[in-house]
Amino acid sequence: MIEFGTDPRVEIHCEPGFYSFTEGTSGKTYLAKLIAQAGEQGLPYVTYSYYDYVRGVDLAAVCEKVQAELVFVDRYDMFSEDPTVQEQIQNLAQDIVVLSDLKSSNPPILPDDYLVLTRSAELLEVT
Amino acid sequence: MLHIFFADPETLPVVSDVEMAFSMLSGQRVSLDDKDQKLVDLIERAELLDDHSFRDRFGFTLPVSALSTGCKAAIVVNHMPDQLIDLREAGKQSRSAIVAVCEEGNVLMDPDTGIEDCTNCCGIQVSVEGETFTDMSDLLYYFEDVRAREREEYS
C-alpha cells in the first residue's frame, strides 16, 4: 500500500500495474494534485500531464530521475495514441503503480484493472 | 439545439483542449450562469459561489480551476456554442449533464462511451446525425442502436 499526506490522508491499495478508474469516479484531478504535492515534498511520486507531454517532457526519464514508485498520468486521453508513451507505461507498470484518468471505451492499452476512489474530508482511498 | 457528432464534420472550429478553453474563458472574465450552476451540481455535486470559486461536496471552498476536466468541458460547451467541443476527456457523468442541460452547442463524442439519464424527467433539445430528440430515453435507445450497428459492422 502507498500512503502519504495528512490533510487528507491518501491510501492507494494496489500492486504495480497500469490502472484507470471506474466510470463516474470523481476526485481524480484532486488525487493527481495531492500526488504532485507529495512529489514536490520529495516523495518518489510523479504526476505527468498533457502539458508535460506537449512540452516534450519524457515520462520514463522523469520517473527514473526520482526512482518513482507511483505515477499519475493525467489527461491521458489527450495523448494515449502515442506509441512511445504506451511502451513507457507498459514498462513502468511492471515495477510501479501507474494510475491514469483514461476515459476512452477503446484505449490503445487496456488497464490491468479499474479502481474505485472514495473520498471523505480526512481520507482519499484508492482500492 | 445541442448537436452531437460521432465524427468531426469539419465544418466547425474544434476545441480539443478543454482545460485551455476553460482557462481562456476565465481569462476573459466570462460570467457563469444558472446552466453552469446546474452542470456543476450534476457533475460535481458542488455549488458555484461566484465566477471564481465553488464549494465542493465536503464544504471546502476551491477555485474554479480545481473543477474536474469533465465539468470544465461542460462549461465550455455552454459558453462556446459556435464551436465543436471534443468530449474525449469528459466522463459519463459530464457527457450526460451536458446533454441534459445544454440546449445549444456542438459536441464530439464516441457513442461507445455512453450517457445516462440525469434529466429528472425534463426534456432535452438534441440533434444526432440529422435526427432530433426531445426525450432522453429516446436518445439512449438511439445510442444503443448506434452501438449495435457498430458491433454488426465489426463482426
Q: What confidence category does residue B129 fall into, taking pLDDT thresholds of 50, 70 and 90?
A: confident
Segment A39-43 shows an average pLDDT of: 94
Q: What 3-state class would DSSP assign to B111?
A: helix
C-alpha cell at B11: 465544418
CA terminus-to-terminus distance, chain A: 10
Q: How far apart are CA A89 and CA A72, in angstroms?
A: 11
pLDDT (0 to 100) of residue B103: 94
Closest CA to B64 of B107, B30, B113, B111: B30
Residue B37 scores a pLDDT above 80 = yes
Residue of B18, B19, B60 to mutate, interface with A, max A Cβ within 10 Å: B19
Q: What is the mean pLDDT of residues A22-32?
A: 81
Measured from the Cβ of residue B143, the count of other Cβ atoms closer than 10 Å reads: 19
CATH placement of domain A2-126? 3.40.50
Residue B120: pLDDT over 80:
no
Q: Can you give the residue range of the structural domain that contains B141? A: 2-154
Which of A61-70, B98-107, B109-118 shows the lowest mean pLDDT across its residues? B109-118
C-alpha to C-alpha distance for A81 and B148, rounded to whole angstroms: 25
- For residue B97, what is the nearest residue in chain A, using CA coordinates? A24
For residue A78, pLDDT beyond 90: yes
Q: What is the pLDDT of residue B14?
A: 97
pLDDT of residue B122: 83
Rounded distance between C-alpha atoms, residue B112 and residue A120, angstroms = 31
Would you call A29 and B68 a contact, using CB atoms and an 8 Å cutoff?
yes
DSSP for A52-90, please give it: HHHTT--HHHHHHHTT-SEEEETTGGGTTT-HHHHHHHH
Strand order in the sheet with B61-63: B47-48, B53-55, B61-63
* CA pair distance B62, B22, nearest whole angstrom: 16
d(CA B100, CA B122): 8
Q: What is the pLDDT of residue B147?
A: 80
List, for residues B64-96, the tens digit of each pLDDT value: 998 999 999 999 999 999 999 999 999 889 999
The C-alpha torsion from A95 through A98 and A104 to A105, rounded to 10°, is 50
Residue of chain A nearest B112, judged by CA positions: A105
Q: According to the model, what pLDDT value does residue A93 have?
A: 97
Asked if pLDDT for residue B3 goes beyond 90, the answer is: yes
Q: Is the dihedral of CA B5, B11, B17, B21 positive or negative?
A: negative
B129 min Cα distance to partner chain A (Å): 21
Write down the domain spans for chain A: 2-126
A104 confidence band (pLDDT: 50, 70, 90):
confident
Q: How many domains does chain B have?
A: 1
Quick check: B13 pLDDT over 90?
Answer: yes
pTM of the model: 0.89
Contact by Cβ (8 Å): A35, A47: yes
Q: Is the pLDDT of residue B134 over 80?
A: yes
> Is the predicted pLDDT of residue A5 greater than 90, yes or no?
no
Q: Long-range pairs for B95-98 at CB < 8 Å and ≥24 separation?
A: B95/B70, B96/B42, B97/B38, B97/B39, B97/B42, B97/B43, B98/B2, B98/B39, B98/B73, B98/B74
Chain B CB within 8 Å of residue A120 CB:
yes
Alpha carbon of A64: minimum distance to chain B alpha carbons (Å): 28
pLDDT-derived band at A120 (thresholds 50, 70, 90) equals confident
Contact B66 A29 (CB under 8 A): yes
